[in-house]
Structure formats: C-alpha cells, structure tokens
Structure 1
C-alpha cells in the first residue's frame, strides 16, 4: 500500500487544486492526544523501502529512477533485515525547489509502517538509527497545544499561536528561514524551508476514526506548507541536479563516495 494522503492544516498556504484540508475540529482532536511531535517538512521525493524493493509514490512497481540509485544500493544491503517494516522517508539525492547546505544523508526517515500500524515517533527514530539513517529534523516543543485551545475561540487561531510560541515566530516567517538543514530557494537564493508536519507521537492507524476523513487519509497527522513552494517544472526529470552532502566519507560504504565523483 502506498503512503496515504496527508491533509493540510486549514492555515496552510502552499496548496494546489487537488490538495485537501483537515476537517473542522482537528486542532481540538490533536490537543487531546497524549503526545504530539512536529518535524520539518523536507523538499524531496517520498520513497519507501521494504523487503520487496524501493518504491516512489506508486507501489505498483519498484522505482528505477536515476535519482533513486543511492537508495537502491542501500536497499540491497539491508533488504534481508526489513521483514514487515516499511521505511518511509524523503529522498534528497535530486534537488527540487530547495537546495540544502547541511545534508548528512540522501535519505531522511519520517515514518515507519509495520503491517497496518504507523509506529510511534520514538520507534521511528530507533529503527532509523538501526539502519543508519537520520530522521527528518524535529522541532522541540515547549508548549502544550491544549493550553492554547482554552485561550482561543477559533481553533486555527489557537494552532497559529501554538506554532508561534514553539517556533519563536509566526510559522509563515519561520519558513522564510533556512531551517535546520540550511535550505535556500535555488531560483531566488533566499533562505527558506518547506513547512512542517504535526503528528501523533504514539502509534496509530492511518484512519483512527476520530475525524471525518477518507480511509486513505491520515487523521493523526497534518502538514503546513509555505506559499508557492513548488518551483520545479515538467522538465525536472531531464534537468535535475545531484544534491551535495557535507561529508561523503560518512556514507562511502554504500556508494555515496562513488556517486559524488560522477
């Protein structure tokens, strides 16, 4: 099964015509969760590694894209240990709209599925470490969302205030900074990051039934994306460029050193 659809927060900016928003009541539902986590949304390709192969968005067949080569080489080394685990992450080998100056790896894990369950964030970090992958950057949370729900009548105002308290600025301002991996827009050269993902930190199913969303849509996870975040065009697959790592030697044992010379 491919990665389910993640819905936008109602205050997200960078939506397209086929994107969908979280239904009313979503902020209150998240405020009642035992623990939530926020991570930086990276500008890469959603890839999955399972014992069957490396997959892009579609799981109908394994990926053969040239920008998937490092991940396929890595999969060949770990496929025997994956069993029921499906590891999802951002493939950063091909630069999209954002260039990152602080990449340690070409693959940043953001989720792990075991059969029909999405593992807790602590388990995601543990499994990523076991396979020698970093996870997407985590934003330290100092304030509870529930405290802001009680202070605001409108749930989206509460969400915005909670984000500002934890980020130290409005989230719309935060995505105009370089984020934790030194991002900048390739065209304008201005610092930026793509956005954020907020998820239940505990284990969950795709649809827990707590919000009126479709079966293939998350109700324990949502995203916020900056305005006009997509800058690539239909010719990207022919003109794409390889991203650079800060230390190729760290991962030379599965092909990055060789690839850096190509």
Structure 2
C-alpha cells in the first residue's frame, strides 16, 4: 500500500507561506512535549518501501534526479519491514539552495510502521543508521514551552544555506495527529528559481567527505581512497578491502568491518581515539577491537575451547564481521583455513537471549555484575538460559559487594582528573601519590615496593567495602591482572575506566601538566598500551577526550 506524505503545516511565525500552504491551527499538540528541531532541507520529498519508492506524488514519473535514490533503495529496500515506510528528502538535484557538503543524497526524517504510526525520534535515528541513511542536523531539542517558543521565534539561520527548520515531537504519533505534532518554519522567498527544477537541467549538489562513510553503511562498494581521506588515516590496505566479503549487510556493523579491513595494520591503541571524534566512541572502539582481535582467528586454537573463546570475543565484536575481516586479511591459505574452521564453530556460539532483560530491575552496579557473571557462566557452559542466569547470580543481586574502578591509560590522558571527580568513592589508591610520599613522583627505582604497598592498601580498602579507585596507568593485561587478583579475592565488581585520547592531544596535555613525563617515557607507554576489551572486567567505561564516559560496555 502506497501512502501520500501529508503536507507539513507552517508555524505561526513562518514567513515562507505560499498561497496554497497551510498553517498549524494551534500549538497545543507541541506544548509540554519534548520536541526535536531539525534543519529543513531543500530537496524532493521521497518515500521508500520494501518493494519500491515514490516522490511526493504517488504516480511520480521517471526523472534523472531520482536514479540515485532508486539505486539506494536497491541496496536497502530488503531491510525495510513489509508495510513500513521511510520518508525523507532526495537531495541529488539542486533546487533553490546549493549544497556542497552533504553526507548523502538521501536524508531520512521519519519512519512509519505497518500500523501507520510514526516512530519515536530515538527509534528513528538508529533504525535509519542501520539502513545507512543519515538524518538532518538537529538544531535544538527540549520541552516545548513559552521559553522554547521564544527561542525558536528568534533562532538565526544562514538563509543563504538553510531553508528553515522542522519541529516534531520526540515521541511517536499516529498519522491522524500529524498536523498537531509536526510543523515547519521556512525562509521567505524560498523558491527563487525562474524555471522549476523539474524542467531544468539537473545540477547535482555536492557530497562531503563523510559521504564515503554513509555510502558504506548503505551497502555501496567501498572506496579505499575516499574512506582513508574521510577518517584521516593515510594509506590502508586496499587489497584487503577488495577481498572483504559482506561484513554486516548495512549500517555501523558494515562500516566497522570495512574500516577494520582497510586499517588492519594500524596499531589498535592509536586507532580508537583517532576515529572517535568522527565516528563516536562506540563505533571507533569496535573498529579498534576488530583490528586487535581478528589475527587470533588466523592461528590454531583448541577445538574444545573454541565456543568459550568465541563467546568472549562476541562481547567486543560481531562474530560475523570479525570472521569477514579475518578472511580478507588472512596472510596465507593456512590462515584462511583456520578462519573458515572458526566460522563453523561460531554458528554455535550465539549469545543467550533475554539476559539483559532478566536484570533490568536491579540497580546499575548489581545489574552489571549479574550480567557479566552470567555471560561468563554461559561461555563456560555452566548455564543455558536467562532463567538459569537469574538463579546462578542470586548472591550479587543486592549489590552488597565492594566495587573497584581501575583507571587505564597513558600518563597525562586525564585518568586522575576523571577519578577525582567520581562521586561516592570511599578510598583512592594512586601509585603516583605513593611515589611522591617516598620523595618524588618521577622516581621509578622502587616501583616493585610501591606496587606492593598499593596492592596492600587496595586489599584493605576492598575488605572494608564501598568503592575504591585504583589510579595507575595499567597499560597491559599483565599489569591489570595483579589488581584483578586482589579484587577477585574480595569478590569486588571490577570496572575498567579506559581513557582513549588521540596521541597529539596526549602530547599537548602532557606538556601542560604540573608533573609532565619525559617525551621518551610517554612514547614508550603508548607503544606498550593495550586497551582492555569488553568482558575483561565486569564493566568497561570508555572515556574520550571530553573526559566523560562515551560508552559503557
């Protein structure tokens, strides 16, 4: 069934109202509700279904500007559920405004389910991202009240580059409520061309560097040179990229696999902080973990332990994507054979269903502990269902256990600043403070004695209960394991707080510290740094250059 997209009413203060346009009859449908304000793009309204597409007119004929959207639909149409529709803007042809930095030639702005209901905005964005479709830029979000109305009335736009904005409720709504839940502001004289764009020669808008990333998300062939330029990482293995088989059909899973294949020779600890400003920490971390984990699939592994090992890997990476990257980068026929053998075992390494829901009613610490313990028990074959997981974790459900937060990261990355700002900390163990108490923070001669003293204080603090912070570089698994031994003895929840900061920023910060480390020491730390993977602690926080937790795994 094809559905005509309704006409969006103008806000009372919208100056770009034509004679045949409609105005919103009142703002009661917006007042008191959370709204999202997005940039209004100057394109052609287009709707995609599982089995076809059309412009605003249901019988829209062929036009050269629609060929790109048809190609996109050919890649993603299969992923749109039957009866659903994706509505957006076809930006291929220039209308009244020229665009020179588009992420894609198609932007989605709403998704409608089989019952004719528009999805919540926070469901719309990830749904479209999984298809490889970006959304218009969000200009403002908040509760629509008198203050918000005043802010929108006085919002300044660059009218040479922006057509206007659209306001919609963040929550979903039924089709019959569209006129009350969506409204727009359009610049005056927004149609400025003498000849309608449909009857003129097609002039293409221009794509920006991020378009290479969105093209991969949508299932298009990867352009190694364009991708390397987009992420700012020179070089890359174009040959491995050419050998990559389907690594996730669409969305971030596919992009992570493509980037990992292209950049598989890059140092993992350097990669995630480099990509995070562009991709966001969760996706950047996944790319780095794929780069770090995939070589293990090239080597022989005891078959009796494969399921356990693969399930542990699955906490950090999608196993299908991981095996696709390993195939593409296999250095020998023997390594590729090992990957294929591992892939057969991976078919039986499916995570247990319903585990997170089983602990949804617990507080954050107890839920994290029970989830982690259940996943490990499942990997070891001790439980086989969510019901068994609940029974196996009864002693941690109250949260009555000590908590360890172990800082991880090179000197100067911001570990101590983050740690000192944590609320509810009962004890703080810093190896730098212990060295300073002995005479000098930079004195490394008595490291073993300082470490023994620190571990003793950690043991005493955990035995007393509460939350304890361990502040040291903890650069590799061996260093972290010494602390884990103490924490396990005291039955503590272990949280890794991993600080991932780009190397250039790290050097700059180190130069501004009260106690900077020598450049050669910092370089050695960066060389040794191996960030922990998800699953190597009960919970992992990934902290970016902002100094805040950007992902919890």
Query: Does the Cα contact within 8 Å between 1:47 and 1:89 map onto a contact in 2?
Result: yes
Query: Does the Cα contact within 8 Å between 1:28 and 1:146 map onto a contact in 2?
Result: no
Query: Does the Cα contact within 8 Å between 1:87 and 1:109 map onto a contact in 2?
Result: yes
Bigger relative contact order (CA 8 A; separation at least 6): 1
Aligned residues: CA RMSD: 2.2
Structure 1 unaligned residues grouped into runs of 5+: 149-157, 165-169, 179-190, 209-216, 258-262
| Greater percentage in helix | 2
Deviations 1:203-262 (A, max 9, x none): 101223xxxxxxxx62211001010011134352332201111136442763898xxxxx
Deviations 1:12-35 (A, max 9, x none): 101111001111xx23431122x2
Tell whether 2:246 aligns with 1:246: no
Structure-2 residue corresponding to 1:163: 152
Structure-1 residue corresponding to 2:471: none
* Superposed displacement of residue 85, structure 1: 2.1
Structure-2 residue corresponding to 1:31: 31
The CA distance in 1 between the partners of 2:95 and 2:222, in whole Å, is: 19
Query: Does the Cα contact within 8 Å between 1:99 and 1:243 map onto a contact in 2?
Result: yes
Count of aligned pairs: 214
Deviations 1:127-153 (A, max 9, x none): 1101011101111336x43253xxxxx
Correspondence 1:22-61 to 2 at 5 A: 22-23=24-25, 26-33=26-33, 35-60=34-59
Equivalent residue for 2:68, pick from 67, 70, 84: 70
Structure-1 residue corresponding to 2:184: 223
The CA distance in 2 between the partners of 1:131 and 1:255, in whole Å, is: 15
Structure-2 residue corresponding to 1:137: 137
The CA distance in 2 between the partners of 1:141 and 1:87, in whole Å, is: 22
Structure-2 residue corresponding to 1:260: none
The CA distance in 2 between the partners of 1:222 and 1:133, in whole Å, is: 22
Paired residue secondary structure (1:94): coil
Correspondence 1:195-206 to 2 at 5 A: 195-206=164-175
Tell whether 2:197 aligns with 1:236: yes
* Superposed displacement of residue 102, structure 1: 1.8
The CA distance in 2 between the partners of 1:198 and 1:235, in whole Å, is: 27
The CA distance in 2 between the partners of 1:234 and 1:199, in whole Å, is: 32
Paired residue secondary structure (2:18): coil
The CA distance in 1 between the partners of 2:146 and 2:184, in whole Å, is: 21
- TM-score normalized by the length of structure 2: 0.37
Structure-2 residue corresponding to 1:154: none
Give the number of the structure whose alpha-carbon radius of gyration is greater. Answer: 2
Deviations 1:62-107 (A, max 9, x none): x521101111111112222212221111111001111122211101
Structure-2 residue corresponding to 1:120: 120
- Compared CA separation, residues 235 and 197, structure 1 to 2 (3 A): closer
Correspondence 1:85-100 to 2 at 5 A: 85-100=84-99
Structure-1 residue corresponding to 2:101: 102
Query: Does the Cα contact within 8 Å between 2:120 and 2:172 map onto a contact in 1?
Result: yes
Query: Does the Cα contact within 8 Å between 1:108 and 1:135 map onto a contact in 2?
Result: yes
The CA distance in 1 between the partners of 2:97 and 2:66, in whole Å, is: 18
The CA distance in 2 between the partners of 1:39 and 1:97, in whole Å, is: 19
Structure-2 residue corresponding to 1:182: none
The CA distance in 2 between the partners of 1:91 and 1:255, in whole Å, is: 20
The CA distance in 2 between the partners of 1:256 and 1:111, in whole Å, is: 27
| Greater percentage in strand | 1
Structure-1 residue corresponding to 2:78: 80
The CA distance in 1 between the partners of 2:49 and 2:180, in whole Å, is: 24
Moved over 6 A (4+): none
The CA distance in 2 between the partners of 1:5 and 1:44, in whole Å, is: 15
